Amino acid sequence: MSAQASATPRVAADPQRLALAHSILGKAEAKTRREHSPRHEEWSSCEGRQFAIPEALASLMPQGKVRAGSSIEVTGPCGTSLALAFAAAAMGEESWCALVGMPHVGLAACADIGMDPQRTALVPAPGVQLSPVLSALIDGIDVIVLGADLDLTPAEWRAAENRARTQGALLIRVGKARCDLTVHSSSPGWLGLARGSGRLRLRNARVSACGRGVEGAGSSVGVRVPTPAGALSSAPCTGPSTPHVSEARPQARRKLTLVRAGKQ
C-alpha cells in the first residue's frame, strides 16, 4: 500500500468555523496593536500614577490619593455631590471627566462643585449601547462617573473595571457596587433656614470610607457640601451637645422629691 493511499483524506473546512477563526485572529491582532500603542506604553510607564481626593477627606485616606485604575463606590443621601467632588479633585488641571447616566446633572452643577466644564463630557442616556460607549470613554478619558440608574450587569461592570485598570482610569459609581473603595454619607442636616424664612444653602454630613488605603475602618469625618467656593469643606467642630429639656426634667423632679421627703 502506497503512502498516498494510507494518508487520511482532508476534510473540507467549514465556512462558519473558518470565519470564526478569522474573527478571533483579528481581535488578537487588534489587542496586540492596542497594547503596543503610545497610550498603553504611557500608562505602563506610569503604573504609580495616582488621583487626588477632596482635601476634606484627607484624614480618612492618609495618602491623600487613590491609585489609577481604581473604582470608588459612593452611597448615601449626599452620593451625587460626593461623586462630583471626587471627580473635581481627580481631574486636577489636565484630566477630562465624563458623566454617564446622570441626566439630572448639568454643567452648571459641575462648575459649582469645582469641575471644569470645558473638560467635562455629558452622556445622559447611553441606552442599549452602554457597554461599547463605556469602553470607548474609558479608553480616552481619565475620570468616569456613573449614575445610580445605569443598568449594568455584573459581567459588564467587571469588564469596565478590568478595562479601567488596563488604561489607568478612575471609575466613580453612585450607588451600590463592588468597588475598591466605598464612601458612604449619612446624617445630613440642611443649613440656611431660619424660623420660617431663608433658603437652603448648605448641608452638613458625616462621611465614612472603607477599602484600600483607608485609615481606620469605621472612622468618619464631618463635611459641608456644597460650599460657596465649590467642592467639599470640613464641617466646623461643635462643642458637646447639651441635654434636651425632656432629658433633664426627670432628674430635677427626682431631686425635688428627695428634698420634700427630707422635710417631712
For 28-44, the pLDDT digits (tens) are 556 555 544 444 444 44
Where residue 241 falls among pLDDT bands split at 50, 70, 90? very low
Dump pLDDT digits (tens) for 17-26. 666 666 666 6
pTM of the model: 0.69
What pLDDT does 23 receive? 67
Question: In the CATH hierarchy, which top-level class contains the domain 50-182?
Answer: alpha beta
As a whole number, mean pLDDT of residues 222-238 equals: 67
Write the pLDDT tens digit of every residue in 52-77.
Answer: 988 888 888 767 788 899 999 999 88
Q: Read off the pLDDT of each residue in 65-90 and give the average, rounded to a whole number.
A: 90
Q: Where are the domains of the chain?
A: 50-182
Least confident of 3-12, 15-24, 131-140, 248-257: 248-257
The set of cell numbers assigned to 144 is: 468616569
pLDDT in tens, 140-164: 999 999 999 898 889 999 999 999 9
The most confident of 106-110, 113-117, 120-124, 191-195, by mean pLDDT = 120-124
